[in-house]
Structure 1
């Protein structure tokens, strides 16, 4: 195997790597501090499309993690970038929160329920039967089906919550149409993020807590991958996958000295 280039930029997932159920993971503050001091390009990634980068910056700051807005990349931003490249100035019917609607507005999209080019499904805690019914009917009439991410569940202090992937499955069952998922593990999200910070996959590392999204996305984008044990995937599950991370570490604290 060819020797990889030294790591010059970093991508890291947020939930399960830097924070867990709203609490910083030990070492996360030191890792972010070291990244900022190093001047190396980096991004904090999340498949959650609910919040804008500004919202996430404020939430992380309250936890003691100082991540600039420009260093936050969400599936909502990646989805807006994808759609603006595919059909500039298009129209969309959106089920989602401010993170997604703001990103689409900023990309020049018009949000409408009248003959839209796309139905775009994102994360929300208030899915309504009426909105889902409208989405199904619009897709039946020819609107293309896009979803921000394939995650079937999300974390909460009370336990798992149904997420975008689960709701997308409901719409698919009703329409027979599969969505195009933009977020991880689609390497499209990773490449768009790399372009945003002027980085190259050959000299970038991806840190994640999930084999099926973070590690797979990093692998397919050509990055070195680090799996941490502070999230959803544990050591016993790694061998069940037909691919492996480049490295397995206990937590983000183990990576501070690598920056």
Structure 2
């Protein structure tokens, strides 16, 4: 294991690491401040494709956390970058919100339902049966199927909501075509984040609260992995997985003194 003081590039999940249901996790502000003041690079990752980095920055500021838009990397941005690399200046039929459509416009993609190169599925507050039907028919006609992330459910104050992965499963069932998922646990998202930072995996660490997304994708991208127990994964659950995080802490508060 590397000395964490040698880490130059810090990647951190958002929900469960920095905030929980809109409330900052104790010590998150101190950790963010320490990373920035020490001259290290920081990028906050989220599978949520609903919001633009500017929107998320404002939401975090309302919770008392100073995270600039340029320090945020979403599955929508990773998806847009992936499509721009695969098929520059292409077209896509999109089911999603501003976070996804803005990211695709940012890489000069045309949003259209007229013979698009891709059907791109992200999160939306209201999945439309008409949109899903249109996506099914376009995929049947040859459009490639991309999904921002595989998360089957998302949180809300009332309880779980069907999310991207669940809707993708319905489209797959109807078409027989499985999507390519860009977001975590695909290590592609980690590698695209590192490229965004200009960093290398050997001097980078990923902090997350989930073994099945954050830790595994960080590990497969060749990074040091830090599991915090302030979110989904509990300590007794770690041994159930065939891989282990590099380090385990109660929360990011325990990392403050290790960033020098």
Do both share a fold (TM > 0.5)?
Answer: yes
* SS in structure 1 at match of 2:73: strand
Query: Post-superposition, which runs of at least 4 consecutive aligned residues in structure 1 deviate over 4 A?
Result: none
Does the 8 Å contact 1:4/1:202 carry over to 2? no
Cα distance in 1 for partners of 2:160, 2:154 equals: 6
How much does 1:153 deviate? Answer: 1.3
Equivalent position of 1:208 in the other structure: 208
Cα distance in 1 for partners of 2:151, 2:244 equals: 20
Equivalent position of 1:74 in the other structure: 74
* TM-score normalized with structure 1 length: 0.97
Does residue 117 (structure 1) correspond to residue 121 (structure 2)? The answer is no
Deviations 1:2-55 (A, max 9, x none): x64721110000001000011101011111111111121110000000000000
1:220-259 maps to which residues of 2 (within 5 A)? 220-259=220-259
Q: Which runs of 5+ in 2 are unaligned?
A: none
Equivalent position of 1:178 in the other structure: 178
Deviations 1:82-133 (A, max 9, x none): 0000000000000000000000001000000110000000011110100000
Cα distance in 2 for partners of 1:235, 1:189 equals: 26
* TM-score normalized with structure 2 length: 0.97
Cα distance in 1 for partners of 2:249, 2:157 equals: 25
Cα distance in 1 for partners of 2:159, 2:228 equals: 21
1:68-217 maps to which residues of 2 (within 5 A)? 68-217=68-217
Cα distance in 1 for partners of 2:161, 2:209 equals: 18
* SS in structure 2 at match of 1:255: helix
Point out the more displaced range, 8-17 or 235-244: 235-244
Does residue 23 (structure 1) correspond to residue 23 (structure 2)? The answer is yes
Equivalent position of 2:37 in the other structure: 37
How much does 1:232 deviate? Answer: 1.0
Q: Which runs of 5+ in 1 are unaligned?
A: none
How much does 1:234 deviate? Answer: 0.8
Point out the more displaced range, 154-163 or 239-248: 154-163
Deviations 1:226-251 (A, max 9, x none): 11111111112211111111111111
Cα distance in 2 for partners of 1:233, 1:157 equals: 20
Cα distance in 1 for partners of 2:156, 2:12 equals: 20
How much does 1:257 deviate? Answer: 1.1
Cα distance in 2 for partners of 1:202, 1:143 equals: 37
Cα distance in 1 for partners of 2:187, 2:252 equals: 22
CA RMSD of superposed structures (Å)? 0.9
> Number of paired residues?
257
